[in-house]
Structure 1
């Protein structure tokens, strides 16, 4: 991390409770969480907004994660690509997740899923190029305006989150890294892994 943040042993009050809940569920406080503690007044609203978007997502949590994963590739964000690859590997299988990362248009997804991820990728690359015709395409495939808004929100929120992580030097934790060095390299779409992270993963 490039900036000073609140370490788990230093946390008090609401931040300590947030950290404790993450340790209980994941065994650690992720840098993706801790990095927000440089602004203690912001960390809880950020966490709350993430849960509000994800837990109320009109297309379900799996699609939220698919959108996040594809958006991370195009931001580009190595941190979020590694983390969501691990999450989707558990949900869909490692080979399916890898196929989506490589080319979501040729990963055996439905036309509707491909269109959803095309929109997420377009937002992540350059949202100013989205046209009304793009939205009509989504509607023609059965997406409601609420669904479309949610896709846009998930992709845009990921760009915000991922760029902050890179800006303050958050690095992916070793437990989220794939065992295969070639896959780790593929998923490092933005910032490259540092040697210490790679050595730690190899040692584990």
Structure 2
């Protein structure tokens, strides 16, 4: 990390509660969570926004994570790419997740998912280029305005988070790194 962070043993108040939730679910505090300890007043609102967005996501948890994975790849964020590769591998399998990383358009996803991810990718690469044609393509596969707004929120949130983690200097925890060095290299799309 480029900034001083608060270790779990020194966390107090709401920060200690968020850290405790990480420890309960993963056995340790994620570096992504530690990044917020330089601004402890932001930790709870950011975590709350993430959970509210993810838990109420109109397209389900899998699609939320697919969007996050594709956005992280195109930020580019090595940290978030590794974390979401591991998470998605547990949901859809490692080989399929690798296929999504290589090219989501030919990874056996549904037409709706391909359009959803193309939109998330465009938001990440250059949202100023999005126009009515993009909306037509999304609606053509059955996405509603609520779905479109959720995709935009998920992709934009990942852009914000990934860029913040890189700016603060978060590095990938070893347990998120794939055992295969070639896969690790493919997922290292940005800062190591």
The answer to whether TM tops 0.5 is yes
**How many Å separate the matches in 1 of 2:110 and 2:16?**
43
Partner-residue secondary structure (3-state), 2:109 = coil
Question: 1:136 offset after TM fit, Å?
Answer: 1.1
**How many Å separate the matches in 2 of 1:7 and 1:188?**
26
Aligned residue runs from structure 1 range 13-52, under 5 A: 13-52=13-52
**How many Å separate the matches in 1 of 2:137 and 2:181?**
39
> In the TM superposition, what whole-angstrom CA distance separates every residue of 1:89-136 from its partner, at most 9, and x where no partner exists?
010000000000010011011111100000000000000010111011
Aligned residue runs from structure 1 range 188-203, under 5 A: 188-192=188-192
Q: What residue number does 2:179 align with? A: 179
Aligned residue runs from structure 1 range 129-148, under 5 A: 129-148=129-148
**How many Å separate the matches in 2 of 1:140 and 1:34?**
42
Please give the root-mean-square deviation of Cα atoms over the aligned residues, in Å. 0.6
TM-score, normalization: structure 2? 0.99
Question: 1:31 offset after TM fit, Å?
Answer: 0.7
Q: What residue number does 1:202 align with? A: none
Aligned residue runs from structure 1 range 153-164, under 5 A: 153-164=153-164
**How many Å separate the matches in 1 of 2:98 and 2:123?**
21
- Runs of 5+ unmatched residues, structure 1: 193-204
**How many Å separate the matches in 1 of 2:136 and 2:163?**
29
**How many Å separate the matches in 2 of 1:169 and 1:14?**
23
Question: 1:77 offset after TM fit, Å?
Answer: 0.5
Aligned length: 192
Question: 1:6 offset after TM fit, Å?
Answer: 1.1
TM-score, normalization: structure 1? 0.93
Partner-residue secondary structure (3-state), 1:183 = helix
Question: 1:140 offset after TM fit, Å?
Answer: 1.1
